[in-house]
A and B are shown apart, each in its own frame.
Chain A
Amino acid sequence: MATSDLITPATNTWCPGCGNFAIEHALKDVVARMIDEGTPADEFVLVTGIGCHGKMADYLGINSFYAIHGRTIPVATGIALANPDLRVICCAGDGDCYGEGLEHLVFAAKRNVDITLVVHDNRVYGLTTGQYTPTSPLGFPGRSTPAGSPEYPLNPLALMVGAGATFVARAYSRRLPQLRALIENALSHRGFSFLEVLQVCASFYNQTGYYDEHTYDLDPEEFPIADVDRALHLAREWDYSRDSRISLGALYRSRLPTYQEHLAAQRAGIREPGRAIREFLDERT
């Protein structure tokens, strides 16, 4: 399939230099490849939050549910529950899913629901023009914290390993081939796949120089592993605030029965509603 078919005619309004373009192209490439390899195009579903990242729903020519701020994950969980054969991808923001809807993130990992979450972590609220988010560094001079953010950042990778996510990885919007490969890995993983993308926000928090300098690739021979302690140790190398090396790649992966698999195992045989109701009424007479 021509990958251009997956881009809609909607006018793109991301800023020049925005890291979202790279995520869009990586997603489009992976989806096109999977369609070529036999996954029906109509089995892909994209769920987005509200923020610059959310515009992905308008730009990608696949089924989409442009949801509300912070709530991509419960929508995606509902879709995956209703039809476990669908390939459900969430594009969420860092404000969106580490702030407004954090509880859903923890529960998605805890349930091991079979969806793929791509977090566009620009470490700022892009669409609302530059406030601090849960992953902004201590002292971040955002528009709501002009004197510097007084909060320590959250470490999403450590959180996800701790909460039970079965695939945990980090990518960077300026490393396209690796980003593409990690999206592909995340989509082919059965269970909850968490992919954090360090996404450059050209307008409100341009960390290009810093990321170019500090990131390094994990050795794919050694990682991902199914060792929580080692993964956690690695996840904590960089705390999103102090200077340190920043690993890129998948650091944790394990195979556990998914939420949908557990539910499917509990589901009993079909029964015609009228008959089920009649049987119950008899019991109650």
Chain B
Amino acid sequence: MEEFSVLIGGRAGEGINRASAVLNRMMARLGRFVYMYYDYPSLIRGGHNFAIVRSADHAVRTHRDRVDMVLCLDSETVRRHEGRLNPGGVLLYDSSTVKEAEGVPVPLNEVLDAEKAPPITRNSGMIGAFCRVAGISWPLVEEVFVREFGRHAEVNLRVARRAYDSVETQFRVSGGNREPMPVLTGNEAIALGLVRGGLDTYIAYPMTPTSSILHFLAEFARRTEITVVHPESEIAVILMALGAAYAGSRCAVGTSGGGFCLMTEGLSLSGMAEVPVVIVLGQRPGPSTGLPTYSCQTELLFARHAGQGEFPRLIAAPMDADEAYVWSARALDFAWRFQVPAILLVDKTLCEGGYSAVIDPDMKISTPDVGTDASQDEPYLRYRVTPTGVSPMRTVPSKGAVIKVNSYEHDESGTTTEDASVSATMQEKRREKVRTLADALAGFEPVAVSGAGDARVGVVTWGSTGGVVLEAVEGLALRVIRPVVLEPFPVDAYRAAVQGLDRIVVVEQNWTGQLEQLLRVHGFATDARVQQYDGRPFTVEDLASRLAEVV
């Protein structure tokens, strides 16, 4: 089967996330491109969890409403999801907990009893049965379990085998014709990108959807020189990062909207003191605590305007794991080169989604040189005015130099000033950095364009929503335009991207039309919009039908 989707559902606390990771990996081992969507409430136990694993022989970055198989660990899953089955699809259910369903029963209690296995292996039974129905060969099942469960593989495999033997093959999910690709969550890709960008220190206070960057890097730090810190609050997070950066440590921090609110005073300090930092801002629906484990695109304008005063900043919004890797590495390098705060604007869909990743561990970043060599400066002036606005940066300790950074307006030496002309000069220096930064970014495809060459209608979108847009427009004469860099806004690249279009539709996950507003600020008209704000990402079918109404 060219494309294949399977949904697994059960109660929170039943390990649906882990089970879907195994399914995702199974499909990836077949040489297919995979994508995993995980939907869960902000609960540790109880409530309904489900995941959809979709795979194909082309890149997939989103899920469909409809699926080919539904694996039910409880009757709630049957009730909610049986309607999603494609014609010819199969529903498997745990016949020890689900009384009535139309589909293939899997008696998981009996399987576990027979193998004297603990309840935690229940999902492995369901996966075993699934693999048989989907025509997946036993050696592959074995291989994936060993890789995934390590020394716990044995008991899980016994359970999987017994369930595997209890059902019949009904499909044959074919292998792709490529080498298996690694499967990463967006957060893992971000973390690896930061590492590639030269990360020394990661500082964060836990908050969904970026907590797993903290967890991942804390583990990763055990085999590298990276330092990972979880301090008392997001205020401490960003201030510690700025202190560490001043002492030469490349830092990134991660949070969501609520934590970012607390960081804004530090963000402005980063802008004024020209001390670099990368902020990974994972969006989740607000206002306030909102829907902690769901997704949205509501912080574009907040990220753009956060912090008092006017200062340069970089905002990049990658679409998928591959772009997340590249742009987190770049964000760190650009932040250092230009001495600005850089915000990687992502969302729950990307952070916690699972993707087939095509990433280069040895990727070169090649941020353009803007004359930041400080070795010749004597005496050293931290804020020396230069034509690019970028001053040569040294970090403490530096032989013979006194390095003064300052939150007050300051002169070239970093000493506080209230002088009108010096103040204006320093504002202009910071303003100049916006231009230098924008020029440098122009060489890095700040706006991605794809779709029909002769299209008269363009669909403009950003961030993870790009993934579903790319699929929803298939077969339609539409051009897709995705600004990946959102600040400084790539005006020229965008203008070129919309050349020749008669009509622009903006697709985003909010109700105020944030990208739309940003486009207008830069003088670009838009004609129609497709918005969603229930916390769930668009699905391919849903978006395709909504697009059909407006294009």
Q: List residues of chain A with CB under 8 Å of any chain B CB.
A: 8, 10, 40, 42-43, 45, 47, 50, 55, 57-58, 61-68, 71, 74-83, 85-86, 103-104, 107, 263, 266-271, 273-278, 280-285
Contact = CB atoms under 8 A, between A and B. Distances in A.
Q: Chain A CB within 10 Å — which of B195, B242, B269, B404 has the most?
A: B404
A32 to B, nearest CB: 14
A10 B361 CA distance: 49
Contacts of B222: 266, 268
Contacts of B247: 45, 78-79, 82-83, 86
Contacts of A45: 247, 396
B360 to A, nearest CB: 9
B337 interface: no
B192 interface: yes
Contacts of B265: 68, 71
A282 B147 CA distance: 11
A285 B232 contact: no
Given A268-B225, A274-B362, A82 B244 contact: yes
A284 B183 contact: yes
Interface residues of B, number: 66
A43 B180 CA distance: 51
B455 interface: no
B1 to A, nearest CB: 22
Interface in B203-234: 203, 220-225, 227, 229, 231-233
B181 interface: yes
Nearest to A106: B232
Contacts of A80: 243
Given A66-B405, A68-B407, A267-B225, A273 B236 contact: no
B183 to A, nearest CB: 6
B184 A284 contact: yes
Given A68-B407, A78-B239, A107 B402 contact: no
Given A58-B415, A75-B240, A82-B201, A66 B220 contact: no
Contact of B407 (A10, A66, A263, A274): A66
7 contacts: A74-B240, A79-B247, A82-B247, A266-B222, A277-B195, A277-B361, A284-B184
Contacts of A86: 247, 396-397
A275 B359 CA distance: 13
A274 to B, nearest CB: 4
A38 to B, nearest CB: 14
B403 interface: yes
Nearest to A75: B243
Contacts of A275: 361
Contacts of A83: 247-249, 396-397
Contacts of A40: 397, 399
B231 A79 contact: no
Given A82-B248, A86-B396, A276 B239 contact: no
B232 A103 contact: yes
B236 A277 contact: no
Given A68-B407, A81-B201, A74 B416 contact: no
A268 B401 CA distance: 32
Contact of B269 (A62, A67, A278): A67
A87 B173 CA distance: 63
Contacts of A71: 235, 239, 265-266
Contacts of A65: 242-243, 246, 273, 404-405
B63 interface: no
A271 B224 contact: yes
Given A42-B398, A78-B243, A268-B225, A66 B404 contact: yes
The 8 A-B pairs with the shortest beta carbon distances in the complex, nearest first, are A78-B243, A74-B239, A82-B247, A78-B240, A82-B249, A75-B243, A78-B244, A277-B361
Contacts of B196: 273-274, 277
Given A74-B236, A277-B361, 4 more contacts: A66-B406, A68-B265, A107-B232, A281-B357
Contact of A276 (B195, B229, B243): B195
A236 to B, nearest CB: 26
Contacts of B398: 42
B192 A107 contact: no
Contacts of A75: 239-240, 242-243, 246
Given A63-B404, A82-B243, A268-B223, A281 B182 contact: yes
B330 to A, nearest CB: 14
A55 B245 CA distance: 22
Contact of A62 (B28, B182, B224, B402): B402
Contacts of A68: 239, 265-266, 269, 407
